[in-house]
Amino acid sequence: MRCSDVRQCRETLSSGGLPPEGIREVGSHLRTCPACRAVLLADDPLIGVLTAGESPETPAHLALRIQALVRSGRIQEPLPVWDLWGWWRQSPFPAHAAAAATLVLGLAAGFLMGVDSDRGPGPGMVGRPADPLAALALDALADAPAGSLTESYFSLARQTGQGGI
Amino acid sequence: MSERDDEDLMRAAGKGDAAAFGEIVSRHQAWAWRVAWRFTGDAAEAEDLVQDAFLKVFEAAPRYRAIASFRTYLHRVVTRRCLDWHRKKRPLLSDRIPEPTDPAPQPDAAAQLRDRERRIRSALDELPADQRLAVVLRYYEGLDASTMATAMGRTPKAVERLLARARKALRPRLQTHLG
Ligand SMILES: [Zn+2]
């Protein structure tokens, strides 16, 4: 490769598009031609990485090693993992809408159940057994606002964080 | 008889055809090896990385869909394995490249090359992994911005920004030592 050929490659070296064989030829020229090296590196210093030596040949045993593993059957098809993001990207809009609706309904049901538990026992529930946690007589739970189980846990956690329990 | 294309071979591999997969490995191992070796700077690590990448491809073969060329798909798998490798390990590569033992005042051509190799290796090693990978794909493999973007899961602009940052970081070292 002549100096003029190498200098013509300047653009494609920096922006991509030169095949690896061409790149290797340029690299081999740059290793021995300080003039081209100075010109090309002034524009783009990263071209300097080409003056490193060639990469070694692909090890002859590499393909055999991979094929032996494949043929041995030791490669297991991984158990399917529920890939939520993958599902979302590949699913049509009605599936998105159904998933969103299910999520909203679930949250609403959870919220309503929480509200219901704040009202105390209804007329038909007078004989309902006491909250089993009350039997533990934990002060932290007794202090919980409004007495919902979730809030009790949060109250307990807060006190634990403050060194309470 | 015409040569089977990569996508056809992958479909066969997905049905358990080990010979078809062997053909895929033969065709693409050189590219994968060069990228892994340039990225890691270590032959044994590069071998493991390439093996791992191809085994991932084989595992995923039953689910493979030819929405892009197989080569594009492989680029993506190999670049991901490179970045995973970097996250999971690692001692500084420059530590593994021995200093020249004979500081001769007028080194011969081979010694000069070794010294240059060491400087470039250590300069590349100082870059963050994604910038180093971008340098390898662009300057050693000649990939353009859009191919690199697909391989690295970024936009072409983001790829060019990575290269611009690498250029800025390495300019003083490469120009002083190699110019
Ligand atoms: Zn020249």
Q: Quick check: A76 and B163 CB within 8 A?
A: no
- What does the pLDDT look like over B20-60, one tens digit per residue? 999 999 999 999 999 999 999 999 999 999 999 999 999 99
Selected for mutation to probe chain A from B51, B140, B170 (highest A CB count within 10 Å) is B140
Within the 27-66 window of chain A, which residues sit less than 8 Å (CB to CB) from chain B? 31, 37-38, 41-42, 44-53, 55-56, 58-59, 62-63, 65-66
| Average pLDDT, rounded, for chain A | 73
- What does the pLDDT look like over B79-138, one tens digit per residue? 999 999 998 875 544 444 444 444 444 567 778 778 888 888 889 999 999 999 999 999
Q: Quick check: is A18 in a domain?
A: yes
Q: Quick check: is A143 in a domain?
A: yes
pTM: 0.69
Q: Decide if pLDDT at A15 tops 50.
A: yes
- Last residue in a domain, options A52, A71, A86: A52
- What does the pLDDT look like over A56-100, one tens digit per residue? 899 999 999 999 998 887 655 444 444 555 556 656 677 778 878
Give the closest-approach CA distance of B150 to chain A in angstroms: 14
Q: How far apart are CA A63 and CA B42, in angstroms?
A: 18
Q: Quick check: is A147 in a domain?
A: yes
Q: Quick check: B51 and A65 CB within 8 A?
A: yes
Domain ranges of chain B: 1-92, 105-179
Q: Quick check: A70 and B51 CB within 8 A?
A: no
pLDDT bucket at A113, cuts 50 / 70 / 90: confident
Q: Quick check: is A69 in a domain?
A: no
- The residue in chain A having the minimum alpha-carbon distance to the alpha carbon of residue B173 is A45
- The residue in chain B having the minimum alpha-carbon distance to the alpha carbon of residue A62 is B47
Highest mean pLDDT among A112-116, B65-69, B85-89: B85-89
Distance A6 CA to ligand 1 centre (A): 7
- Match domain B1-92 to its CATH number in 1.20.210.10, 1.10.10.10, 2.30.60.10, 1.10.1740.10: 1.10.1740.10
How many distinct structural domains can be found in chain A?
2
Tell me the mean pLDDT in the region B146-162: 95
- What does the pLDDT look like over A16-43, one tens digit per residue? 999 999 999 999 999 999 999 999 998 8
- The predicted pLDDT at position A95 comes to 75
- The predicted pLDDT at position A165 comes to 41
Q: In whole angstroms, what separates CA A125 from the centre of its chain?
A: 48
- Selected residue with higher pLDDT from B9 and B117: B9
ipTM above 0.90, yes or no: no
- Selected residue with higher pLDDT from A12 and B111: A12
- The residue in chain A having the minimum alpha-carbon distance to the alpha carbon of residue B56 is A75
Q: Quick check: B113 and A58 CB within 8 A?
A: no
- The residue in chain A having the minimum alpha-carbon distance to the alpha carbon of residue B171 is A45
Tell me the residue range of the domain where A152 lies.
130-161
Kindly report the CATH class assigned to B105-179.
mainly alpha
Q: Quick check: B174 and A46 CB within 8 A?
A: yes
Q: Which residues in chain A touch residue B61, judged by CB atoms under 8 angstroms apart?
A: none
Distance B38 CA to ligand 1 centre (A): 25
- Selected residue with higher pLDDT from B1 and B118: B118
Q: Is A74 at the interface with chain B, CB within 8 A? A: no
